[in-house]
Amino acid sequence: MYTHLVVTVDTEEEGIWDGNYKRRNNSVKHLYQLNRLQDLFYKYKVKPTYLVDYAVLLDNKAVNCLKKVYKNGASEIGSHLHTWCTPPFEEELNIKNTYACNLPKSLVKKK
Question: What is the model's pLDDT at position 101?
Answer: 98
Its pTM stands at 0.87
pLDDT at 1 over 80: no
Going by the DSSP 8-state scheme, the letter that residue 32 receives in this structure is: G
Nearest to 65 by CA among 16, 13, 24, 29: 29
Mean pLDDT to the nearest integer, 35-39: 93
The predicted-structure confidence for 49-106, as pLDDT tens digits, reads as follows: 999 999 999 999 999 999 998 988 999 999 999 999 999 999 999 999 999 999 999 9
